A = this chain, B = another copy of it.
């Protein structure tokens, strides 16, 4: 089933905000087997909204709409919709009382302008908002039905999950089965070479979605069994690179592996500056296996806290295989953990030389019976370099634990 989307807000067109609602809605609609086939982003003024409604394609029977439901004068979506759907707003005394009490509990004085949020349509319906004051609106005419939601992501998501997705779900006849396969450490073209022999089923659609942290594969089919058979064939061939399904992060997958293997870890970060430990601690249970880390941004701290040999730094430089190894050993012993993970590199924008260009990174891994240093040449952009290094380090640890 084809679904339309209208996202309302000058901040989306002038780029002050990135439209993350659209991608969330796209994914959640697809999970029902329907799909967003038409999407307009419009300014929050009468003409622009009317124009988008007039242009909804004939084959679209459901339109989702976000934004413009706030209490201030520039939130004009409701008045446009009442007019377009030939409906009439009535004052909802009961909701106004509830709203006043809610504000009082929070110690905030309610403004008269909030009264605009206490209106209900005569013919249309109200979509409840369990966490905010702006309720959604549900209208219908001969061409399509429309669901209007606030632009606040948490409020929009609750309305989608509680009210709108169940309606879409009921109407969807032809299901689409989708799997997102996340890989890291392998190029798009190399993945293609590996899986090409199995790309002989016309029911399977495949898209490559590369980013700095790896290539995601989006595989879809209208026959679930075909999708499962295809995945069973290709996933074992990608095991070193394939780390998760859907939008799960590498650190979350890694966390499960570490817990299963009953290991403890610590990090000694130079070029990544805390990004690896930050990612590790995004995972709820991380305090059970991550004991802590040291960000050794200066040589003196590498020497003092990680026990790196001053002579090794003098001889090979702080960005070297040798120092990466001593950092990993040092943090493992200092923190008394099973595994030490280290990074040292030149993240840019300065600090490069002919022998050691910007982007050069060493990642060290140390356990009581295994030690290895990995060398990379990543991006010369500082933030990208940090991101790529953290991703590689986490995947090195994942592969070590799985071996």
A142 to chain B, nearest CB (A): 22
Count how many chain A residues have C-beta atoms less than 8 Å from C-beta atoms of the other chain. 77
Tell me, in angstroms, the Cα distance from A42 to B43 when the chains sit together: 18
Copies in the complex: 2
Looking at A17-25, A81-89, A359-367, the stretch in contact with chain B turns out to be A17-25
Instruction: From A19, A48, A178, A349, name the one whose CB has the most chain B CB atoms within 10 angstroms.
Output: A19
- Does A37 have its Cβ within 8 Å of any Cβ on chain B? yes
B281–A291 touching, CB < 8 Å? no
Using a CB-CB cutoff of 8 Å, which residues 250-293 of chain A contact chain B?
267, 269, 272-278, 280-282, 284, 286-287, 290-293
A12–B22 touching, CB < 8 Å? yes
Mark A residues whose CB is within 8 Å of B: 10-20, 22-30, 35-43, 48, 51, 55, 57, 74, 108, 178, 180, 189, 207, 209, 216, 218, 267, 269, 272-278, 280-282, 284, 286-287, 290-298, 300-301, 305, 334-335, 348-350, 382-383, 386
Known contacts A13-B26, A36-B14, A218-B16: A297-B301 contact under CB 8 Å = no
A301–B295 touching, CB < 8 Å? no
A68 to chain B, nearest CB (A): 12
Residues of B with C-beta under 8 A to A57? 51
Residues of B with C-beta under 8 A to A189? 108
A109 nearest CB neighbor, chain B only: B189
Residues of B with C-beta under 8 A to A277? 273-274, 295
B43–A41 touching, CB < 8 Å? no
B39–A13 touching, CB < 8 Å? yes
B284–A382 touching, CB < 8 Å? yes
Known contacts A12-B23, A36-B14: A287-B294 contact under CB 8 Å = no
